[in-house]
Amino acid sequence: MQQQRRQPELVEGNLPVFVFPTELIFYADDQSTHKQVLTLYNPYEFALKFKVLCTTPNKYVVVDAAGAVKPQCCVDIVIRHRDVRSCHYDVIDKFRLQVSEQSQRKALGRKEIIATLLPSAREQRKEVEEKRIKEHLTESVFLEQMLCQTENRTVSSGPSLLTVFLGIVCIAALMLPTLGEVESLVPLYFHLSVNQKLVAAYVLGLITMVILRI
């Protein structure tokens, strides 16, 4: 005889509840948002029964506030806002979705959903755009500060290796003998003309000015 596989005993309140979305936003000037849909998912191998509770039930109408979900299925729960007045703007209400096994009364899991009524969808989009612009400006200022710090570090670190190398080359060129000098131990191909030495002196002067500015 095959033994029936016993289902593990579920602890009250520890069963994860999968519902989407977890936040409801209603806009007073947009009637299409006055009706929202919550989707409850049941990924388990046993059926669940659910119940929807609310902190302010007089402001909402919940269609099918209680029901059942078959194993590995989902169900839609429609919630309508019926009291769209300015006194309710920016007030946070809460829904609680409780689930349990069909054969038991104790709640195996629960999930809270936040609901908010906002005055205008346009104003909300405008605020989002302004927030994005501020974020972009902040990023731009941060990048500019980083670039300035990098430039200051470069300046404070002194002349570059290339500048020092060119200065050494120019000094060495000025120290070499000039063409026409007979008594010199330096080979002839190292002798420089007057014009070449003038160029070396000019470049050395430019390098000196750069180093003094640094």
On whether both 167 and 102 belong to a single domain, the answer is no
On whether both 111 and 197 belong to a single domain, the answer is no
6 in a domain, yes or no? Answer: no
**What is the extent of the structural domain holding 199?**
158-177+191-213
pTM over 0.85: no
7 in a domain, yes or no? Answer: no
Eight-state DSSP code of residue 27: E
11 in a domain, yes or no? Answer: no
Tell me the CATH number at 26.
Answer: 2.60.40.10
| Tally of structural domains, the chain | 2
On whether both 164 and 97 belong to a single domain, the answer is no
55 in a domain, yes or no? Answer: yes
Burial class (CB in 10 A: 0-12, 13-18, 19+), 91: exposed
On whether both 117 and 206 belong to a single domain, the answer is no
Partners of residue 48 on adjacent β-strands? 69, 101
9 in a domain, yes or no? Answer: no
Q: How far apart are CA 106 and CA 100, in angstroms?
A: 6
Contact status, residue 173 vs residue 193, Cβ threshold 8 Å: no
- For the chain, 214 residues long, give each residue's pLDDT as a single digit of tens: 444 444 445 556 689 999 999 999 999 988 999 999 999 999 999 999 999 999 999 999 999 999 999 999 999 999 999 999 999 999 999 999 999 998 787 889 999 999 999 988 776 666 666 766 776 667 656 655 655 665 555 555 566 777 778 888 888 888 888 777 766 677 776 777 777 878 888 888 887 777 776 5
